Chains A and B, each alone.
Chain A
Amino acid sequence: MKPAGPEGRKKNTMHAPHLTPDEIVLWAEGLLPAARALHLSDCPDCLATAERERVFFLQLARLEQLAPSPGFAERVMGQVKIPTPSGGFKMTE
């Protein structure tokens, strides 16, 4: 992501200041206050940066769900000691 903010981009004098990198992250996570998010409707530069960040976060959130091999739970449960009312332990069946 190119750094947001004034550096490298024309100063946005007519409207609210450009979003900072932290604000871009907040927007991509859906946490930026609406008043600041309004800036995106006026600023194509910030919008493009924010959109890139949103897609990047989406890629991370959509990584494949990885699962252990079948039988994993039984292998674990075979080593678990379950407390009994008498104060002892029992192993799973």
Chain B
Amino acid sequence: MRSSPPGAGDGVIAPRERPSNLTGASDQDVVTRAKQGDEAAYRELLRRYERPVFALLYRMVRDRALAEDLAQDTFVKILNGLRSYRPEFKFSSWVFKIANNAAIDHLRRRAVDTISLHGSPDAVTPERIAATTLDLPDRRETPLEEVEARELGSAIERAIGRLRPEYRSCILLRHVEGHSYDEISQMLDLPLGTVKTYIHRARNELRDYLEDRRNETRRAGGA
């Protein structure tokens, strides 16, 4: 293949424009290339962040199909909104901020829509509880649910799933994604002290839950 300088406009993809040659470039450089209309740069940004963003969303909402929908919306928003990205911030912080907002917005909407399966919270008599209780048919897990149970089924994943969403975001961004407290503070629009408190509480809750699980296992083994 003929070598050609980038942007020569002769239809030949110059070596510099191939995705593999963006691999070592900084996020900022790749964003600059994307803003110039380089499709390979868009694909490179997606390649870098699709797994961590999906993983964060999946662990936040604990539903694979929903996490994919939210991840798709997140990336479309990011890639179509590169002009609004301010380069004085880390690109990864901007990406995770948008992803986390998507998850939190969804969880808040779901909380509003949630109906108790065990009767209205206002029901005080057995008759009223029975009248407001939903009966759902017993059913087997779908194949997708089986995959989810396998993926998020370890004790620590279950423990993470029990945390408040705000704690969950903080602990995942700190210990799974490896962001600094300052970055998390920027991403979540929370004061630094609040981020530290949330992470501290989240760790304590995780440890307590895992300790309880270990004790239960020991008791069951000894019985």
Residues of A within 8 A of B (CB): 1, 25, 56-57, 59-61, 63-69, 72-73, 75-77, 79-85, 90, 92
Contact = CB atoms under 8 A, between A and B. Distances in A.
Contacts, number: 82
Contacts of A61: 175-176, 178
Which of A1, A68, A77, A84 has the most CB atoms of chain B within a 10 A radius of its CB? A68
Contacts of B175: 57, 60-61
A1 B207 CA distance: 7
B34 to A, nearest CB: 8
Interface of B: 34-37, 39, 42-43, 46-47, 50-51, 54-55, 58-59, 67-68, 71-72, 75-76, 79-80, 151, 154, 156-157, 171, 175-176, 178, 203-204, 206-207, 210
Contacts of B54: 66-68, 72
Given A61-B178, A63-B156, 19 more contacts: A1-B203, A1-B204, A56-B206, A56-B207, A56-B210, A59-B156, A60-B156, A66-B58, A67-B50, A67-B54, A72-B50, A72-B54, A72-B68, A73-B43, A76-B46, A76-B50, A79-B72, A82-B34, A84-B37
A92 B38 CA distance: 11
A55 B58 CA distance: 24
Contact of A73 (B46, B67, B176, B210): B46
A80 B42 contact: yes
B90 to A, nearest CB: 19
27 contacts: A56-B206, A56-B207, A57-B175, A59-B156, A60-B175, A60-B176, A61-B178, A63-B55, A63-B156, A65-B55, A66-B58, A67-B55, A68-B71, A72-B71, A72-B72, A73-B43, A76-B75, A76-B76, A77-B42, A80-B80, A81-B80, A82-B34, A82-B37, A83-B35, A83-B37, A85-B37, A92-B39
A66 B55 contact: yes
Contacts of B42: 77, 80, 82, 92
A64 B151 contact: yes
A80 B79 contact: yes
A61 B179 CA distance: 12
Contacts of A83: 35-37
Contacts of A82: 34, 37, 39, 42
B76 A79 contact: yes
Contacts of B157: 63
Question: When A and B form their complex, which 3 residue pairs have the shortest distance between CB atoms, in order from nearest?
Answer: A60-B175, A66-B55, A68-B54
B207 A80 contact: no
A21 to B, nearest CB: 8
A31 to B, nearest CB: 11
